[in-house]
Structure 1
């Protein structure tokens, strides 16, 4: 069965069977996706992480189908109702839905009207109506009058027979499949209001009287109407041409019948469809739509989280984290170039929201703040984008003008900072801090190294998706775990500075081994070479194999330990260096890079007994040792002056940071209180199907102001240059 599944996967993904087989085998043996993608390219046929995960996901889904197929066959066989034709149909089914349709007549169910009719002995009448072509229906039905079973007259007998026929129709897999197809092709999603929201909170106003063709409903619309329905604001239904469906059933069921039997069967058909098939298929299709929309939203959320984690770090800068607030004061925390906490303070530049500025409080706070900037030699101020952020931005912009050295600021997305600040992780690190003070430290560190800080936070609290709290939490969690694993292992982690939260996302490591690494580091001292990992308690050979290549040691005994060359390939790397006449101290120099780029990869790979893909990776690592792939990404946008919504004018060109990407566009921070929306149609010239094809979270983009609605606090932007129109 496993070979059959692997063959199906290879066909579905247009891959070689050997690629799929090798991937599945290595995964079963404990290899992680990042490890296979980076260090087993010869075995996988150079598959990337996306393809490897597709193989594993498809394998899991197909195994689920096979397990269900076997369970259904076993259950029907126990009932002694399996026929050769039914067995053939079950074995030929390719989806769970097909298997469930075939299993439906044999499935245990609550007592139905058809069951009651059968218990009353009416099943022969139902079979007679389906097969006979007689005129004496009432006369034949009189035989089934049974007062003991509450069948008191002919009409009750015929009604019972109709219940049996209706259930048989509803459980017919062929009929269900065709009706499902018709509903999908011709159906419409229709919503109606159940209650009207408050005037200032009409979030779902667009869905009060909403009609869309089933096939054309967008994923974000599905999630929106689901939420509105859950809140009791709207009702939802699927409308379809019932006449067409009833005619289809009649043609299949009614053949060579008398007018009286035709009328009875039409009643049974209508009841079978309206009472049994239609609600069931509507539930199925609603579930299918929700699953589709959820999978898409999880992909969108995962993609946004990945780009958020992979934003370029701000290295070598002393950063002050600024957590804005009104009445309780703004919490400040200074961290040095390595992220180590230096000092904290509270200032009170703002009175309560919407109150007039208190000049005395403002000036006093300004003086305090300038002193803190100068005393700590702060390079950058990281301002959280929550409550009072834009008032704080004005305050900071005024303060940095009064500092002799150059100080700039950036607005940092603080979503999830409060969740982190109240967590055990934050309490353990800063037990004597108030929650807001921990938040200020987190905001500062987010700017310095987004990846290292954001892994401490539940990704669902980061706020860069859509409807994430409505999504299936298990699937969302699995996706986010995979995204974090990918990001962490692509970047590579400094073994001597990484936190347990960062380490536990490294290939092969668990939360327990991550803690053990930090404990060993604290007790024994800094790691000087990768091989010392073997001394860490509970970190066995398999974990070492999976993790070693992703863990780096800066300034250690072996320069190769600061590359993503795996220790298993050190011999190859050293032989390569010898052939190129490069000594260790020359690694990373222009001369070494020139020599390495001139290598005949195929010839040297054959000579050294290594795959060309592995050798190419070794060469790339030796050319740029210690390389952080995030360094190639756009740096964070730093500002020194403030912009207000009232300053915006139509056509104004601005530079902004993409904060969120959703189905219908992207939200861009242009330095005012509200992020502006670049609609899908304004991302670039021509048709754009997916915003992620154009922008990603963290991108620095040029935008032009299309429209400003100060009253509603809405800004419409475009990324299409008017100068080129």
Structure 2
């Protein structure tokens, strides 16, 4: 039985990702021990050489690909043995060597293709009729010297009326089908043609017969070299084809391909390429077979494979951009300590209002009708003003969905009147309400607010998104947060995995207050599964707040390994142990306490800001290598410990610009070419960024307008949530389109 040697995964992955083998080996070992990526990235830096989360995920992905590839190779070897292919020792050696050397799944499948059981084909029918010996006879070298009569005379031996072969020509045709399939199944030929097509092929897109105005008009007469096509073009073309607007094809230089295939399967096979040979009957006959193999079998198959590979590239890029946008959205700074009025705009069904206190607790809900068709503006205004006064609202959050701008106009009028009456200015912000309806109808929302209507729950979600975007958005399916493109056109399992990893990363980077976090937020903490989260929530409900991280050990079924993974990301502000409010892992507590003891201990240091500043100044002045020796910790860990001690309870989101607050409204009619506005980046895509400048529709800053110099990708310049200054360069009132530019405009 043939056995493949399992490859050195760490060596191969290290070469591919340009890392040290020791780093990859350590990462793989940590994965296999059940450690999570956030835990490894944060608390095992010495073992991995300070690999970050992205690098660790790359290693994990490649490790999965390589182990899957190895398993498929083993499966193919087993299948070939079961089919009796390896009864020939020479074939076994040749195929095994080829499979061992294969570096991609496509190569393995190409090698297995000739032996894979097929559904009924023209070639399989010919084989059933006993024409395989005739096909083998045709491709012998000496046939180059035979004339047509000799060949027909030999083929006449295979005439069998009972098998449906009535003439020598029919026998020859069957043999040609067998040879054509053999050519189409040849691994080297497929590999060459795939690469050649990628390098030289052109993708064409034209409108279908039923041409109508659509978003796909730019692709009605479109062509691009395959190796230059952009990822977002791929997905747009796929969707246009699927919806019946486009016809797509791939073309290549037929003569060049024909020449190469003839050289491979005619000239090389007969061992000569003379003029005499090229004029022989068998040469011309086999040339026709090669052309048939290409047009009927190879070209459609390779085109499908290339289209699939292009789609995979497009999907990977779309998912990557979605993930980056989602992370930036989740990492928007919270506006803590603010009482917020959430407004979910609508027309016929009315605007839903929800007041939440500074902790996110619901205080009151209401419904008003300031927009068409009811237009009960005065009654609506009274309700809003009463709420602003009664609860001393600090901020207003307006959803950006249907009727958003009309509602914004109404709210801005309320804000002005309230300021005139009380001398208090209450600013408002436009908040993305993407996914709010999904949350409102969810089981989670039903459990949290069982007595409220679905529409009222969405207003609460909008208000809370302004207070703490991360805590609220984790309650929603990441696909529904509205910062991607073509998310419904990509492989959903792949998308779910990537977005979940992004949310997990953001949650663990920020850290979670174990006493106030929702079950949704806790579910993304490294190492915690649904059962562990449920038990933590149940324990704090039954026993009150956790006063120290050590109390987590009392939670049922929260074992040592799970606790090790999660505890560093769970925070306990104002607890018994000052270090519990930091990102320092309890495994480092003894060393940290020993260090701080010389300054009076952690409690004394954190209790006095002046003492804390003095101690940190002294610690920062000490050589890092000396501290590392004293603590018995690696230098990367010591650096993290010092950062955590210097800013206990630090929220990394505080370093990001706060959301843009407004007090007045703009309309498209207010805009003029050249006007400079301040706006919020709502979405970033391959071709630019969409910016909310306060009018009904977000404006587009095309990639060509993002900077005075060349921009490779919009994400090199802006991110979701950025506050930017833009100038108006195009206004299309009829289509509601707004063109913006960031050139020579300071961010």
TM range (shorter): over 0.9
Aligned to 1:266: 287
Give secondary structure in 1 for the equivalent of 2:249.
strand
**C-alpha distance in 1 between matches for 2:252 and 2:599:** 72
> Does 2:618 match 1:595?
yes
**C-alpha distance in 2 between matches for 1:546 and 1:14:** 28
Give secondary structure in 2 for the equivalent of 1:717.
strand
Give secondary structure in 2 for the equivalent of 1:181.
helix
Give secondary structure in 2 for the equivalent of 1:564.
coil
1:482-505 deviation digits (Å, cap 9, x = unpaired): 001000000000111100000010
Aligned to 1:323: 344
Give secondary structure in 1 for the equivalent of 2:8.
helix
**C-alpha distance in 2 between matches for 1:583 and 1:511:** 34
5 Å matches for 1:96-175? 96-131=105-140, 132-133=143-144, 134-135=146-147, 136-175=150-189
5 Å matches for 1:334-483? 334-352=355-373, 358=375, 361-403=376-418, 404=422, 405-483=424-502
Contact 2:578/2:602 (CA < 8 Å) preserved in 1? no
Aligned to 1:564: 583
Deviation, 1:723, is 9.1
Give secondary structure in 1 for the equivalent of 2:175.
helix
Give secondary structure in 1 for the equivalent of 2:139.
helix
Deviation, 1:125, is 2.1
> Does 2:230 match 1:218?
yes
Query: CA 1:531–1:582 in structure 2 vs 1: closer, same or farther (change >3 Å)?
Result: closer
**C-alpha distance in 2 between matches for 1:597 and 1:340:** 41
2:514 to 495, 501, 510: 495
**C-alpha distance in 2 between matches for 1:580 and 1:237:** 74
> Does 2:694 match 1:671?
yes
**C-alpha distance in 2 between matches for 1:105 and 1:313:** 60
Superposition RMSD on alpha carbons, in Å?
1.5
> Does 2:19 match 1:15?
yes
Deviation, 1:197, is 5.7
1:602-622 deviation digits (Å, cap 9, x = unpaired): 012112211111111111100
Contact 1:488/1:502 (CA < 8 Å) preserved in 2? yes
> Does 2:243 match 1:231?
yes
Give secondary structure in 2 for the equivalent of 1:533.
helix
Aligned to 2:680: 657
Aligned to 1:86: 95
> Does 2:321 match 1:300?
yes
Contact 1:195/1:232 (CA < 8 Å) preserved in 2? no
1:35 to 31, 39, 42: 39
**C-alpha distance in 2 between matches for 1:664 and 1:213:** 18
Contact 2:6/2:70 (CA < 8 Å) preserved in 1? no
Aligned to 2:704: 681
**C-alpha distance in 2 between matches for 1:513 and 1:2:** 37
Deviation, 1:81, is 2.1
TM-score scaled to structure 1, two decimals? 0.97
Give secondary structure in 2 for the equivalent of 1:657.
strand
**C-alpha distance in 1 between matches for 2:49 and 2:533:** 31
1:98-141 deviation digits (Å, cap 9, x = unpaired): 11111111101112111211222222222222121211222222
Unaligned runs of 5+ in 1: none
**C-alpha distance in 2 between matches for 1:611 and 1:509:** 27
> Does 2:255 match 1:243?
yes
1:576-614 deviation digits (Å, cap 9, x = unpaired): 213455652323632233222212210121122111111
Query: CA 1:579–1:12 in structure 2 vs 1: closer, same or farther (change >3 Å)?
Result: farther
Give secondary structure in 2 for the equivalent of 1:138.
helix
1:77 to 81, 88, 104: 81
Deviation, 1:271, is 0.9
Give secondary structure in 2 for the equivalent of 1:401.
helix
Query: CA 1:47–1:233 in structure 2 vs 1: closer, same or farther (change >3 Å)?
Result: same
Give secondary structure in 2 for the equivalent of 1:289.
helix
> Does 2:213 match 1:192?
no
Contact 1:582/1:592 (CA < 8 Å) preserved in 2? no
Aligned to 2:634: 611
**C-alpha distance in 2 between matches for 1:529 and 1:414:** 36
Aligned to 2:219: 207
Aligned to 1:275: 296
Unaligned runs of 5+ in 2: none
1:251-298 deviation digits (Å, cap 9, x = unpaired): 122235462212211111111111111111001000000001001100
Contact 1:10/1:16 (CA < 8 Å) preserved in 2? yes
Contact 1:596/1:623 (CA < 8 Å) preserved in 2? no
1:95 to 104, 112, 115: 104
Query: CA 1:722–1:454 in structure 2 vs 1: closer, same or farther (change >3 Å)?
Result: closer
Aligned to 1:179: 193
Give secondary structure in 2 for the equivalent of 1:57.
helix
Aligned to 1:509: 528
Length, aligned pairs only: 716
Contact 2:688/2:703 (CA < 8 Å) preserved in 1? yes
Contact 1:113/1:163 (CA < 8 Å) preserved in 2? yes
Query: CA 1:723–1:344 in structure 2 vs 1: closer, same or farther (change >3 Å)?
Result: closer
Aligned to 1:702: 725
Range with greater deviation from structure 2 (329-338 or 139-148)? 139-148
**C-alpha distance in 1 between matches for 2:701 and 2:114:** 52
Contact 1:683/1:718 (CA < 8 Å) preserved in 2? yes
Deviation, 1:702, is 1.0
